[in-house]
Structure 1
Amino acid sequence: MVWRMPAEGAAHERTWMAFPREGVTLGSTDAEREEGYAAWTAVAHAIAAFEHVTMVVDPSETARARRMLGEGVELVEAPLDEFWMRDVGPTFVVDDEDGRLGAVDWIFNGWGAPAWAEWQRSAALGRIVGELAGAEVVPSLLVNEGGGIHVDGEGTVLLTETVQLDPRRNPHADRARVEAELARTLGAERAIWLPRGLTRDYEDFGTNGHVDIVAAFAGPGRVLLHEQQDAAHPDHAVGRELRELLEGAVDARGRALEVVALPAPATLRDDDGFVDWSYVNHSLVDGGVVACGFGEPEADARARAILAEAYPGREVVTVDARPIFARGGGIHCITQQQPTPGR
């Protein structure tokens, strides 16, 4: 078997999501909880306009999920606590020898087992979702999340030193061990290590630097990079550092990388400090792109135009992602694509 993770723009069988359930992530008030349910529902409906969506639902939320999602989204029940499907679910791969579908079952420990996280139930979803998809489950001893990697489908993976090498995740790991496991599970021949992620992501409710909020392959040899244009925001300096590194990198095929800036919206702060609002955290679907929106018409339109150019022939739609970011992530973080077998 030769496992390979296809590029996210390859043909999909479906997108997987997980419906929110009550807990610290969803919010402590009725208004906060309703906002969270509505945000996840809006993303599911946007994706369902392009491709099949399967939503994993904790039994305690089945009635609400049926009422809010309607007939256009398939529901399956499984126990869960955290509901960021990119991270708690499997990473789907294909066997380059016979086209079979695989599902890499990473170890999930709640982004480093912080005291606030409720993750023990969702730690089983990699296996559960893989089996529901009819995939061969590929076990891994690496503590990892889908938001911590991004691939070009041709042997290159982007990742950050502060995630896979996080001593709260993998205390005995080094670059060589991580790269060997990503080669076995994803077919990664070259790893491009970024030194860090966005500033907000290092606070208590962050992931310690997920790559999928800062950089993403838009195609072979082409990377979309979050750009904070205001020097008053600490991510202005972060972006400059990452651009320099990426412009000096080559992919698995020996190509120099073209770096395409995806500017941040104008808002710099919310009630909790500097925001990490990023258009990089979009979801690719068959024939489309579901992009994060931040209530800024000019900035949202600019992002749609850049994404439309980056992904020719795809319709770009915007969903308000502010309620998702307020809970620790974006649209890419709550979705996981299942590639079409043999593609």
Structure 2
Amino acid sequence: MNWRMPSETAPHERTWMAFPREGLTLGSEASEREEGYAAWTAVAHAVAEFEPVTMVVDPTELDRARRMLGSHVEILEAPLDEFWMRDFGPTFVVDDERPGVLGAVDWIFNGWGAPEWAEWRVSAEIARFAAAHVGAELVSSVLVNEGGGIHVDGEGTVLLTDTVQLDPRRNPYADRARVEAELARTIGTTKAIWLPRGLTRDYDDFGTNGHVDIVATFAAPGRVLLHDQRDPGHPDHAVTSELRELLEGQTDAAGRALEIVGLPAPATLRDDEGFVDWSYVNHLVVNDGVVACGFGEPEADARAAAILADAYPGRRVVTVDSRPIFARGGGIHCITQQQPALTSAEVAR
């Protein structure tokens, strides 16, 4: 098999999500829980404007999910404890030598390094559940990894961070060469661009320890969108400056120098927990559209939407207030996972 993870900009069959359920992530107060349900629902409805959405729902939340999601979202019942589909769900791949064959990479998921607070063992089974539902060939991996820890250009290049795949709580015996070999086998990448770290907030107790999908993404082969914290009063000002300098010296799998496009951070620097990690990089590209994060700052949100519209020509940008999602540890990209369409264009690559 020659598995390859298509770019997020390639045509999608559908987007997968998982509906929130009660627990630490959702919140202890009724108002917090309602806010979480509403945020996930808003993202699902925004994605459904462009392509089908399949929502995995825990049995305890079926009635609520049916009421809130309506008829526009397919519901599948399966046990859940966490609901960050990007991270515990499958990473879908194609085989260019076998047209019409879909694969699903089942990474080992241990709750972002098995912290004491995390509930993850139930949702760790969802990759296999989703693969069986769509008839995908299962690609089992020995790597502890999450979908939010990688971004690909679909042509052999992958972005990742030292502090995720080389995290001793995840892969204590891994080195770069071993990780790169496993990514080559499972998602078909031949060039890894390693970033030294992610955003500051992501290293808090409830963070992922540096997911790349909140920092940088490929808008197209050779073109990277990078989080740009312009306020020197925020520690990510130094972080993103360092990342830009590193990326400007990199080439992709085809030997192209990278063009770096900054996505300026919103003006808000702090919330009740400390410095925020609000990032427009954590958007989802869908068929003919982009579902973008919004942060209640009209000027900054509009500026980001304009940059995204320019980065993804011909796609309509829809902005969804993502503050309730970020308050729980992630963003729009983190709660979604695309399933590529097996189109004739994709097969012909």
Q: CA deviation at 1:133?
A: 1.8
Deviation per CA, 1:251-303: give whole Å up to 9, x if none: 00000000000000000000000000000000011000000000000000000
Quote the Cα distance in structure 1 between the aligned partners of 2:141 and 2:243.
29
What is the aligned partner in structure 2 of residue 51 from structure 1?
51
- Give 1:172's aligned residue: 173
Q: Distance in 1 between matches of 2:287 and 2:146?
A: 23
| 3-state SS, counterpart of residue 153 of structure 1 | coil
- Partners in 1 of 2:151 and 2:318 — Cα distance? 22
The residue identity in structure 2 corresponding to 1:54 is T
1:55-94 residue pairs with structure 2 within 5 A?
55-94=55-94
1:286 corresponds to which residue?
Answer: 287
The alignment status of 1:237 with 2:238, answered yes or no, reads: yes
Q: TM-score, normalised by structure 1?
A: 1.00
Which residue does the alignment assign to 1:194? 195
SS at match of 1:60: helix
Write the deviation string for residues 211-247 of structure 1: whole angstroms up to 9, x where unpaired: 0000000001000000000000000000000000000
Query: For 1:273 and 1:175, how far apart are their aligned partners in 2?
Result: 32
Residue 226 (1) aligns with residue 227 (2) = yes
SS of aligned partner of 2:46: helix
Q: 2:129 is matched with which residue? A: 128
| Distance in 1, Cα, partners of 2:308 & 2:79 | 36
SS of equivalent residue, structure 1 residue 124: helix
Look up the match of 1:137: 138
Runs of 4+ aligned residues of structure 1 deviating over 4 Å after TM superposition are: none
Query: What are the ranges of 5 or more consecutive residues in structure 2 without an aligned counterpart?
Result: none
SS of aligned partner of 1:301:
helix
**DSSP 3-state at the match of 1:80:** coil
Alpha-carbon separation, structure 2, partners of 1:131 and 1:222: 35
User: What SS is found at the alignment partner of 2:62?
Assistant: helix
- If the length of structure 2 is used for normalisation, what is the TM-score? 0.98
Letter in 1 for 2:20: P
Task: Write the deviation string for residues 296-332 of structure 1: whole angstroms up to 9, x where unpaired.
Answer: 0000000000000000000001000000000000000
Deviations 1:126-181 (A, max 9, x none): 11111112110100010000000000000000000000000000000000000000
Q: Which residue of 2 aligns with 1:327?
A: 328
2:217 is paired with a residue whose SS is strand
Report deviation, 1:96.
1.1
- 1:302-341 matches, cutoff 5 A: 302-341=303-342
Q: What does the per-residue CA deviation read over 1:186-218, in whole Å, with 9 as the maximum and x for residues that have no partner?
A: 100000000000000000000000000000000
Is 1:2 the counterpart of 2:2 in the alignment? Answer: yes
For the aligned residue pairs, the C-alpha RMSD in angstroms reads 0.5
Secondary structure of the residue aligned to 1:244 is helix
User: What is the deviation of 1:98?
Assistant: 1.0
Counterpart of 1:159, as a letter, is: L
Amino acid across the alignment from 1:183: A
One-letter code of the match for 1:79?
Answer: P
Alignment identity in percent? 80
Question: Number of paired residues?
Answer: 343
Aligned to 1:257: 258
Equivalent residue number for residue 29 of structure 1: 29
SS at match of 2:290: strand
Distance 1:133 1:37 in 2: 26
What letter is aligned with 1:296? E
| Map 1:156-167 → 2, pairs under 5 A | 156-167=157-168
Report the 3-state secondary structure (helix = DSSP H, G, I; strand = E; otherwise coil) of the residue aligned with 1:249.
coil
SS of 2:252 mapped into structure 1: coil
